[in-house]
Structure 1
Amino acid sequence: MSLITPVRVTLRVVDMAVRATLAFRLRALFVIAAVGLGIASLTLIVAAVDGAQKRAREVVDTFGPDAAFILGGDIQSRAVGQRVLTLSWRDAEALRQSLPGAYMVVPMRAKWNVILKYRGRSVDLPTVVGATQNYASAWNWPLAEGRDFTDRDVELGAKVGLIGATPAQKLFEDESPLGKTVFIDNLPIQIVGVLSYRGGTTGGGGDPDDRLIIPLTTLTQRFNMDRKYFRALRVKFHEPEYMDAHAANLRSLLRHLHGLEPGQPDDFTILTPDTILKFLSMLTGSLVAFLGVTATVAMLVGGFVLANLFYLSVSERTQEIGLKKAFGAKNRDIMVQFLAESVLLTLAGALLGVALGVGLGQALTRLGVLEIELSSRVLTLSLLAALAIGILFGLRPAKRAAGMNPIEALRGG
């Protein structure tokens, strides 16, 4: 009996709150919409942060904890006219022979936006990468079929290639690409290896599987590129726990090889897993700061709309309040009723806000603006925030209603 009574009381309070809400539909919609906008921003924050953290883990796993990626030019300064082909075969050989802890050095260069053909089929290929032997091993990218390049392939400028999963599917469907000859413009390339499906996106939002890898010497010879320099280097190290020391040694050796004096800026950029995590954390922090201000302002606006409309509601419902008090309702009962109405509206706003936030987040994900990760935490935090808004901004109007004198309330009615 003691348990049934509180349940009945709760259900009665909820029923009265629903009836009162339905009696003032327009005001209820204003409150729900105002709170919903704030909760939508909060939903975006939580989902975007979770998505950014997930993406950071994926990027680091793909990048490899034991590797460094060196790009020609200083990508942080982005100086106009800056030379980006600053890495040479001399650098690669010196790193192989003299860099402590390094066991693999793979130079790379790329040609963008070519047409790849096989018999009567053709696909637009965003990237053709020129690399040396051990490309797949350097990127921790297993081969689904075939073999990687050899020293002899690179030395002879062989017309062989590794094909990614995306063009392989488009050109060959369920047929094995091994041994088949594809054409880049008029250059025939025999497929000797098929990269396994990796999935995800590249830093620019592209498909990492949409590529063809050929020997670097073949790329530079056949497309009349500078044969002395290349765009990037991939270096792998023993003992990845000492990556900071490896990066420092790498930077020191490259500065020496390039004849850079103290105080001169680097003409290269070194990326390590820590660098990537710091960069992604900076982006996440900026995103959280922007959306956090937006969410806070939106929720405060929603709260003030709620408070003002409830003050108006209290003024218009004085007769109702007076009658309830005349029939024995206590101050606490009146306050609980108005708080229940407030919480009901903000919870409805939370559900609307979560739906809006998820919809907007998915739209932004499709556009490549951000990546969201939905979890139960999104709904939990949204409901708690809505509950807090309902109680915080509904408390004063509820107290005002509860503190009314029943006789004066009836006269006012």
Structure 2
Amino acid sequence: MKFLRQIFESFRFAWQALRTNLLRTTLSLLGVTVGIFSIVAVFTVVDSMNMNIRSQIDSFGKGVVYVGKWPWIMSNSYPWWKYINRPNMKYAEYQYLKDNLENAQAISIMDGRMTTLKRKSNSMEVRLAGVSYDYNAISDVPVGEGRYFMPSETDNSAFSIILGAKVKAALFPNQSDVIGEEIKVNGIKFRVIGTMNLKGEDLISLGGSPDDRAYIPYTTYANVFQKDQPEPDIAIKAFDWDAGQETLEGEVTGLMRGRRGLKPAQEENFSINRLDGAVKFFDSIFAQLNVGGFFIALFSLLVGGFGIANIMFVSVKERTNIIGIQKSLGAKNYFILFQFLFESVLLSLIGGFVGIGIVWLISLLPLGSLTLILSFKNIFWGLFTSTVIGVLSGIIPAWSAARMDPVTAIRSK
């Protein structure tokens, strides 16, 4: 109990010293505040970007593999002519995979291009996608009004269309209910069967924002747009979105090689792509940003740490006489050491709390498509870093104060 009481007294002395020298305390914690703000802000922005991008990538389908002519990540050593001379994916290959795959939960063929949609005097250039029926089981199609395609529409080249929220607003500016209305695509009339909910701006946009997109059946798209050079992709969703992708990828490879008559020694003339490749790409970028941000913040923390250490040496010098009196009255070395160590740590922690508070205030501001989330992990690391800086900055001044000779200290002025 005596030890704990002395620890509490050391803490009280430290708090009194900080309150007595408010101006010096404020100037001292500025460096730590800037450093902790920098490091927590960098980690918060990077983590928030990572979460937002992962969420947006997941909306395109977890556990999905994409079979197509081109790989998403090019190899520098791979000859371009091999890619160019590869055959395009065919609708018959989609049907073959659909009939023979055992590990697929859903399979869809899709293609798209930029084109202009018209309705009377209104028009808008959109990303028009042709999709087969199972597409909404692979990627999110948030139909708000109307309905999604029926199998008969996607199989029989129906002239039906689903509009994104911004497309609907552009073509029907003063009309709320547009189901059953007609628009023109390439001079051909399409009937609106559904409209999608407004999603808003994305941090990234794979294939364009859903708000600026429109969907028609793939068979219709093929008849209207693919008479020259079709380059569709086939999207296949595994039953188990994590472990099942490997099994599904192996099955697809075997079926496609057999369908195209490739011999064992021949390499694939198709590519199988996965969204986790994009995730790994962004992870590598975020890792570099974290490292860069840490070193930038480290300089601020070093400046703040040296500032606190300098103030602590001044504080020890000013209170040398008091230290001598305390020691002559029986104060132990650890009692003196804890006074100055607690003062240093408190000073650093106050700076840390202020820096974290500024990040929290910034996270409340609207930042467009980026939503900042200050996580408990980043708060913990900010406070932990503040504590470490406080200990490192104050340990030498506190140790020198604790080792003072009481007689010499009392005689000092």
- Whether contact under 8 Å (1:42, 1:292) holds in the other structure is no
Q: CA deviation at 1:192?
A: 1.1
SS in 2 for 1:229: coil
Q: CA deviation at 1:323?
A: 3.9
Partner of 1:338: 340
Is the deviation greater in 386-395 or in 396-405? 396-405
Deviations 1:28-75 (A, max 9, x none): 1xx52245324521443256336635753664365144x433343012
C-alpha distance in 1, partners of 2:24/2:137? 69
- Aligned partner (choices 352, 372, 376) of residue 350 of structure 1: 352
What does 1:190-339 align with in structure 2 at a 5 Å threshold?
Answer: 190-196=191-197, 201=202, 203-204=204-205, 207-222=209-224, 224-226=225-227, 229-237=230-238, 242-258=244-260, 262=265, 264=267, 267-271=270-274, 278-279=280-281, 281-296=283-298, 298-311=300-313, 313-314=314-315, 318-326=317-325, 330=331, 331-339=333-341
Is the deviation greater in 251-260 or in 91-100? 251-260
Q: CA deviation at 1:230?
A: 2.5
- The change in CA–CA distance for 1:52 and 1:299 in structure 2 (over 3 A counts) is same
- Whether contact under 8 Å (2:130, 2:219) holds in the other structure is yes
- Whether contact under 8 Å (2:323, 2:401) holds in the other structure is no
C-alpha distance in 2, partners of 1:169/1:285? 40
The answer to whether structure 1 residue 402 and structure 2 residue 407 are counterparts is no
Q: CA deviation at 1:178?
A: 0.8
Partner of 1:68: 65
C-alpha distance in 2, partners of 1:361/1:263? 54
- Whether contact under 8 Å (1:48, 1:372) holds in the other structure is no
C-alpha distance in 1, partners of 2:185/2:25? 69
Is the deviation greater in 247-256 or in 56-65? 56-65
- The change in CA–CA distance for 1:118 and 1:322 in structure 2 (over 3 A counts) is farther
- The change in CA–CA distance for 1:95 and 1:319 in structure 2 (over 3 A counts) is closer
- Whether contact under 8 Å (2:359, 2:374) holds in the other structure is no
- Whether contact under 8 Å (1:40, 1:354) holds in the other structure is no
Q: CA deviation at 1:187?
A: 4.8
Partner of 1:32: 30
SS in 2 for 1:22: helix
- Whether contact under 8 Å (2:35, 2:299) holds in the other structure is no
- The change in CA–CA distance for 1:54 and 1:151 in structure 2 (over 3 A counts) is closer
SS in 1 for 2:149: coil
The answer to whether structure 1 residue 45 and structure 2 residue 43 are counterparts is yes
- Whether contact under 8 Å (2:116, 2:125) holds in the other structure is yes
- The change in CA–CA distance for 1:153 and 1:23 in structure 2 (over 3 A counts) is closer
Deviations 1:103-142 (A, max 9, x none): 6432111123x554545555553x2212233432443535
- The change in CA–CA distance for 1:289 and 1:10 in structure 2 (over 3 A counts) is closer
C-alpha distance in 1, partners of 2:239/2:335? 71
C-alpha distance in 1, partners of 2:308/2:268? 56
SS in 2 for 1:141: coil
Deviations 1:227-270 (A, max 9, x none): 56333212245566633211111123334445656463654232
SS in 1 for 2:349: helix
C-alpha distance in 1, partners of 2:319/2:252? 79
Amino acid at match of 1:77: M
Amino acid at match of 2:376: S
The answer to whether structure 1 residue 176 and structure 2 residue 177 are counterparts is yes
Amino acid at match of 1:105: I
Deviations 1:176-229 (A, max 9, x none): 22112234575543211233556673743753343111233444554x545563
The answer to whether structure 1 residue 136 and structure 2 residue 136 are counterparts is yes
- Whether contact under 8 Å (1:147, 1:192) holds in the other structure is yes
The answer to whether structure 1 residue 107 and structure 2 residue 109 are counterparts is yes
- Whether contact under 8 Å (1:47, 1:378) holds in the other structure is no
- Whether contact under 8 Å (1:16, 1:337) holds in the other structure is no
C-alpha distance in 1, partners of 2:303/2:399? 21
C-alpha distance in 1, partners of 2:220/2:179? 19
- The change in CA–CA distance for 1:248 and 1:299 in structure 2 (over 3 A counts) is farther
The answer to whether structure 1 residue 15 and structure 2 residue 12 are counterparts is no
Amino acid at match of 1:177: V
* Structure 2: gaps of 5 or more residues: none
Amino acid at match of 2:392: L
- The change in CA–CA distance for 1:20 and 1:245 in structure 2 (over 3 A counts) is same
- The change in CA–CA distance for 1:230 and 1:357 in structure 2 (over 3 A counts) is same
Is the deviation greater in 291-300 or in 156-165? 291-300
Is the deviation greater in 14-23 or in 49-58? 49-58
- The change in CA–CA distance for 1:98 and 1:24 in structure 2 (over 3 A counts) is closer
TM-score, length-scaled by structure 2: 0.76
C-alpha distance in 1, partners of 2:60/2:217? 22
Amino acid at match of 1:107: I
- The change in CA–CA distance for 1:154 and 1:279 in structure 2 (over 3 A counts) is same
C-alpha distance in 2, partners of 1:275/1:177? 39
Q: CA deviation at 1:398?
A: 1.6
* Structure 1: gaps of 5 or more residues: none
